[in-house]
C-alpha cells in the first residue's frame, strides 16, 4: 500500500486522476485508463493544489475526495468534499471532522485497511 508517494483525486462521477511513481493517469468511472504519461510539473501543481485541502474550486470541479500517499511516512490521508479527514499512519487510524476535531483515534483495523485498499483499487 505504501510503495510510493502519490496523489489520487476521485470525482463524483467515479473518474480518477492520479500521480504515482512519476506517472500521471486519468481513469474513467469504470476504472479504464483513458490517459497515461509521465507526470509534468503542471500535473503535480494542479493535483497538489487540490490535495492541500478540498477547496470550493475543487468541489465545483466535481472532486469527491483527495487521497495522498506518503511512502516515507507510511501514511494515507483521505479528505472528502465535506472536509472529513481519515488518516492511516503507523498502524493508527484517525478520523477528523471538518472543524479539525478528532472523532476517532485508535489502532487501525483490518477492515480499515481493506476499505482504503479497495478505495485505491488495490484489492
pLDDT in tens, 41-55: 888 888 776 655 555
85 is a domain residue = yes
Burial category of 44 from C-beta neighbours within 10 Å (exposed 0-12, middle 13-18, buried 19 and up): middle
1 is a domain residue = no
- As for how many domains the chain has, the answer is 1
Q: Is the pLDDT of residue 34 over 90?
A: yes
pTM, entire model: 0.59
34 is a domain residue = yes
Q: Are 38 and 24 in contact (CB under 8 A)?
A: yes
Q: What is the pLDDT of residue 64?
A: 64
- The parent domain of residue 74 ranges over 6-119
* pLDDT, tens digit (0-9, with 9 covering 90-100), for 73-84: 678 888 777 778
53 is a domain residue = yes
101 is a domain residue = yes
Amino acid at each position: 500500500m505504501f510503495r510510493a508517494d502519490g496523489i489520487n483525486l476521485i470525482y463524483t462521477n467515479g473518474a480518477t486522476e492520479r500521480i504515482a511513481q512519476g506517472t500521471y493517469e486519468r481513469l474513467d468511472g469504470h476504472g479504464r485508463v483513458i490517459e497515461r504519461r509521465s507526470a509534468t510539473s503542471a500535473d503535480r501543481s494542479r493535483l497538489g493544489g487540490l490535495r492541500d485541502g478540498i477547496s470550493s474550486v475543487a468541489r465545483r470541479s466535481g472532486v469527491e475526495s483527495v487521497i495522498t500517499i506518503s511512502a516515507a511516512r507510511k501514511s494515507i490521508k483521505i479528505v472528502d468534499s465535506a472536509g472529513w479527514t481519515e488518516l492511516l499512519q503507523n498502524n493508527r487510524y484517525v478520523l477528523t471532522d471538518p472543524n479539525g476535531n478528532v472523532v476517532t483515534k485508535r489502532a487501525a483495523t483490518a477492515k480499515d485497511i481493506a476499505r482504503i485498499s479497495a478505495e485505491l483499487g488495490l484489492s
